[in-house]
Structure 1
């Protein structure tokens, strides 16, 4: 292929991309057709091993940093230039689907394959990145390792994080053999693009194929502990109870009420709940639950937090229980690089794909990477907007079109960035 065409006629192999998606779904595959591939488990190691083998077969050099973030590198004409990068994550929710996260990694792999098969060499090196622990379902909060990369978290605090069973992050990273020597955050990049399923209903509802993501809404996570008093369910009069679960029920309703009051963009969720001692004839003495609130406007997120704290404290007082609220994650709204967003938009237009600009509701590694490098995202539709669910589904043609936009945007960035 002539270098003068700058790769503008390149296309990904959509069939090969789909085969990769189905093959990797076996690592942690569930009977319902989803995936349970939690961070730093043996299933995570297996899919990482597959990724390393596959990229190596394409002539790429694969490395990993001190947080286990994986980098598959295809050399360019000038390897002194920082790479143009693509990526997402390979870990899933406990009942996750086949496409959340991994589409961005395998879409990046399909770009490397297109370059390899064509013989086209870019100016910059091109890399695909797998970020460790995007989901935050085993080790909280989410996006911890892209967060270390961007300087949001320290390496030491993440290595010492523990899951609900008390198992340490750093120990599990050593167990699967993916703790590298390069300090996290010292890997230079010129630009970053992330392909992802929308995880919402907008593209499908509007019959659009490509979402040109302009940013990510703000989010805050909290851990709440409500402490009452264990008591016998048969002999403790109702007026004398300190029922932590009854109080928590009111607090959970308050989360929903506050989010609805700031609609239509605000959302609030209680996704994890633990009742103690969890016995049928004991008045619950302690409840632990999580709160997740989000909105595209940081000022609204702050107002929601203030209203929630007031409501929860009042409920605790009315039910004679103690309340502890700990904020564990604060991710301000992100606005992606205008030039990179423009490259995605141009790529969609040049391919003739229907597209719209969109703001991401969920957080992504791109949100942290945007703090240290020009960044943009590409969305493709998912059926009924369903994600974090074993029934998560997308069309093969949409995956291919999203990867084609990714390829075209990367090639535009390769001709644009000089460092």
Structure 2
């Protein structure tokens, strides 16, 4: 058949997504499939079987990343890699990450059933622990591949039950070999739900991602003095929570001063956390994001100064440290152009935008020309059971991925 008439099989793709949606299902239709759990193992086993059904060469590396390789005409040429992740948040949606893996599988199925041989090999990949919901920080599988994190660091990461990454990997029997890590690739392409409202607001179908915003996680520890709530006069208190509340307010106010800055306080611990005891210690995390690393750095400097001033004025101590950061990444213009050409060929509307969340593509861009395709998220909702990307949009996105891969895997 003419390649310009090639399309994915909608029913087969949606059926595949429905199988995924049945593993780790929550009451409201979302998913709880944390990395390296029994639910993750079940999904991995099915995914490996699907890869084998398509006669792909399957391998697993020492971080549990799963690969399926489809040979090209040039056996020793670098591959075009495509994929994302199958793990979810504890109350996650059915599409975040999952679509990137399963639409890639559908692309391979479509190429196989139409006997289309590409010049370059194609590799599907499912990265381990992208979400960071069980083991922090996120994107450990892809970060390990490119050397962002050492093996010792990744293996020693522990969940809230004191189980290490290495222990969990061994338990689900997905400890592979270092020699199987992703390498010798020319491109990496990741399809993903937007997880924001931009495409929907602009009434555009395909998001061509220009890059990923830089991210910093700041740990703020405020220390006052624990005391009895009853006999301690207000003027004699060193309440750690009251100034912490002012600090959190300041974290959000700073976004009014710096365009495009996003700040979030999503984690807070109060000690001793008892109704009739004055809090003596508060610890909270700040997530800071911007597409310009200099703006993000400036925001962090200003936050340090302003939070320290609040601490002095309230007679408490504050320590601010950077737990994790990841600089802004710009994607390949060639890959963006391939996505744009695919959207034009199929007659789909498009828009260029930056990604707010981090993705595996961020790290893989260190070893290959990389790009991402975004699909609309209804009401911009993600990391939530209500997350929704429409079936029509999924089908169209898979077709854009198909033609993008065909373009990248064909010699010019």
TM-score under structure 1 length normalisation = 0.95
Q: Which residue of 2 aligns with 1:349?
A: 344
1:151/1:185 contact within 8 Å kept: no
Structure 2 vs 1, CA of residues 134 and 398 (structure 1 numbering), >3 Å: closer, same or farther?
Answer: same
For 2:265, the equivalent position in structure 1 comes to: 270
Secondary structure of 1:271's partner?
Answer: strand
Q: d(CA) in 1 for partners of 2:42 and 2:276? A: 44
1:198 aligned to 2:194? yes
Aligned to 1:300: 295
What do you get for the CA RMSD once the two structures are aligned? 1.6
Alpha-carbon deviations, 1:299-329, whole Å to 9, x = none? 1100110011111112222233232222122
CA drift of 1:184 comes to 7.1
**2:401 is the alignment partner of 1:415:** no
- Whether the 8 Å contact between 1:270 and 1:291 is mirrored in structure 2 is yes
Q: 2:395 aligns with which of 376, 400, 415?
A: 400
Name the structure 2 match of 1:317. 312
The 1-side partners of 2:38 and 2:201 are apart by 38
Contact 1:148-1:184 at 8 Å conserved across structures: no
How far does residue 187 in structure 1 lie from its aligned partner after superposition? Answer: 2.7
Deviations 1:68-100 (A, max 9, x none): 111111222222122211111111112110111
Pair 225,46 (structure 1): closer, same or farther in 2 beyond 3 Å: farther
SS at match of 2:5: coil
Q: 2:335 aligns with which of 336, 340, 347?
A: 340
Distance 1:374 1:60 in 2: 23
The 3-state SS of whatever aligns with 1:134 is coil
Matches within 5 A, 1:53-202: 53-183=49-179, 185=181, 187-202=183-198
**How many aligned positions are there?**
412
User: Structure 1 unaligned runs (5+)?
Assistant: none
With over 3 angstroms needed to count, the CA separation of the structure-2 counterparts of 1:308 and 1:239, relative to structure 1, is: same
Q: Distance in 1 between matches of 2:147 and 2:40?
A: 24
Q: Which stretch shifts more, 120-129 or 100-109? A: 120-129
Greater mean alpha carbon deviation, residues 401-410 or residues 19-28: 19-28
Q: TM-score, normalised by structure 2?
A: 0.96
How much does 1:229 deviate? 2.3
For the pair 1:373 / 2:392, whether they are aligned, the reply is: no
Instruction: Give the one of 240, 245, 261 matched to 1:244.
Output: 240
Q: Give distance in 1, aligned partners of 2:165 and 2:176.
A: 14
Q: Counterparts of 1:22-61 in structure 2 under 5 Å?
A: 22-61=18-57
Structure 2 segments unaligned to the other structure (5+ residues): none
- Deviation digits for residues 375-415 of structure 1, max 9, x if unmatched? 01001101011111110011101001111111101110111
Alpha-carbon distance in structure 2 between the residues aligned to 1:69 and 1:52:
11
Distance 2:329 2:372 in 1: 12
Is the 2:119–2:411 Cα contact (8 Å) retained in structure 1?
Answer: no
The one of 275, 278, 290 equivalent to 1:280 is: 275
Q: 1:245 to 1:331 in 2, by over 3 A?
A: same
